[in-house]
Homo-oligomer: A and B are copies of this chain.
Amino acid sequence: MILNETTGKWESRYWHPAVTVDAVVFGFDGEKLNVLLIERGGEPYKGAWALPGGFIIQTDKSAQDAVYRELHEETNVDDIFLEELETFSDEGRDPRERVITIAFFALVVKDKYIIKGGDDAREAKWFPIDKLPELAFDHNKIIDVALERLRQRIHFEPVGFHLLDKEFTMPQLHSIYLAILNPPADDKKLRDRRNFPKKMLKLGYIRPTGKKITGNPHRSPALYTFDEEAYKTAKKIGMRLEF
């Protein structure tokens, strides 16, 4: 596309669709999974809740870049785990014009950031995954896809860590697995507290720090960290790291 200086418009011999990025940002509050939403400040769907995101601009080096930029502008969230989800391209997604959206899913430590609105977003707020409002565009559908992806991922990749502080306890990590997978109440296999640490440690990339939580009402759980090196090498040699 070339900018026509006199008209101030972008011109092209061929039709180009508009391209946006949206992010499904998950956070964990100790009990439930939450999604970060913004209140739209402009049309269409003005005043409705939506996923943070926006149009890719010329200076974005990649779609990921655009997501980082938008998240920073709209919600003050930085430095997160980000993975491409899917690209939504059906016609009719946006009432204005044809829009193709590259959706991402992200995992953050929920209370590490002070969420704020900004720019196109009047407000930014966390919503529990089971109490989502009606969202703008097809964003409810995008969240469904993201949740499904997360549920798949957690079986094989160490995604839980991204929702917790660098140092975490086994009970904390366990509660994340339960919140995401939500197994039936009689599922001892997943729910039994005693099996969980064994499985996790067997994966080989969780290291005890030797430290303990302090100021606990009861026995203080031990702290662990994610060993990125061990994970990478295990993955490189093609190890199947299933949970």
Contact = CB atoms under 8 A, between A and B. Distances in A.
Contact of A58 (B3, B13, B19, B98): B98
Given A86-B84, A91-B62, A9 B13 contact: yes
A64 B90 CA distance: 9
Interface in A1-51: 1, 3-4, 7-19
A91 B64 CA distance: 12
B63 A100 contact: yes
Interface in A57-113: 57-58, 61-64, 84, 86-87, 89-91, 97-98, 100, 102
A91 B17 contact: no
A178 to B, nearest CB: 15
B9 A11 contact: yes
Given A17-B56, A19-B100, A63-B100, 8 more contacts: A1-B15, A1-B17, A4-B11, A9-B13, A14-B18, A15-B57, A16-B16, A64-B89
A205 interface: no
A55 interface: yes
B90 A87 contact: no
Contact of A90 (B61, B89, B97, B102): B61
Best-surrounded residue of A8, A12, A87 (most CB of chain B within 10 A) = A87
Contacts of A55: 14
Contact of A11 (B11, B18, B57, B102): B11
A58 B61 CA distance: 26
Contacts of A9: 11-13
Contacts of A102: 87, 89, 100
B15 A17 contact: no
